[in-house]
Amino acid sequence: MNLGKDFTLSPVIKEIIDHNSSGQRIDNFLIKRLKGIRKDHIYRFMRSGQVRVNSKRINADYRLKEGDTVRIPPVKVIKDAPVVARILTKSRFISFEILFQDEALMVINKPAGIAVHGGSGVSFGVIEQLRAQYPNWKFIELVHRLDRETSGILLLAKKRGALVELHRQIREGKIEKRYLVMVKGNWPNIRQNVRFSLNKYVTTTGERRVAVVTDKTGNKKGVTAHTLITLQKSWQDFSLLEAELKTGRTHQIRVHLAHLGFPIAGDAKYGDFSLNKQLAGRNSKMPNLKRMFLHAAVTIITHPETGESLRLEAPLADDLQRFLDRLNTRSIN
């Protein structure tokens, strides 16, 4: 096929559906994944059989199920865009800190600012880089997701059986996930259970959001969400918390804390925008912080093959540690 001198084809992507995408129509899923590709082209891909689920043709109204394997076909992209194996502008692999690895699992300390999954063949994430970096691996899939600006522990399965088992542990609440989070204000309790149902919605501009369900009449549908908050340390205007996920809902920690009046420092979606501006400013008296202070610090799983308990820990990223150090220095002075 002659694509012209300015274009090339992206690689075929096979994505295994997790609980976050379960129930979504395949056409809406592809529109989100293939940003920048015309909708009529996406529907053409489905009609021609280039998009397949579990190796079978599907209609546009097919609703995805957890564990489905979706084949995303090659799309035409600009040649000057980054290629799969080169995420950085300097055309080199990002060096991920590997926290644990064996034949079944790979666990990395994901840096902030990197998506776990690419969108359209123009923007590539962690999983695309690993597939390109290790082309001889027969299988590598995300076990779960982290927001782009969240750093910390990210689990990947190197065997399908390991993926299925870890998804079972997630569904049954058998995986323990703890995050370190800095919030605005003085958190009042040493230990507190936060239970608010959450509802996903789309804004008039097409942005996906999550909000606490406040309608007591039951007119709004929501999903139960439970976060256990433990206070780690307080300063004059900030509190460091440990947030343990008892359920794993989209943006759960961010929305729960914002709803209670303790927005996460640097959160550009649910946070205090005036505070974020001060934190990002060079001349501010505030410690400098240019992204959301949310870090996946500890994860405890049962190894999918050996059955042994595996505790994984990721040290704070340098920028978050510097913010902590500045708060401590300021409190002494």
Catalytic residue IDs? 147
Q: Which residue has the tokens 């084949």?
A: 71
Query: Which residues fall within 8 angstroms of residue 227, CB to CB, at 6 or more apart?
Result: 193, 194, 195, 243, 244, 245, 246, 247, 252, 253, 256
Counting Cα atoms < 13 Å in the Cβ hemisphere of 117 gives 21
Distances (CA, A) of 256 to 65, 233, 298: 27, 19, 20
Here the contacts of 89-98 (C-beta below 8 Å, separation 24 or greater) are 93/129, 93/133, 94/129, 96/126, 97/314
Question: In which residue are the tokens 């959001």 written?
Answer: 209
Distance CA 299, CA 313 (A): 7
Nearest Cα neighbor of 233 from 194, 280, 183 is 183
* 212/204 Cα distance (integer angstroms): 18
Q: Is 1 helix (H, G, I), strand (E, B) or coil?
A: coil
The whole-angstrom separation of Cα 153 and Cα 27 is 31
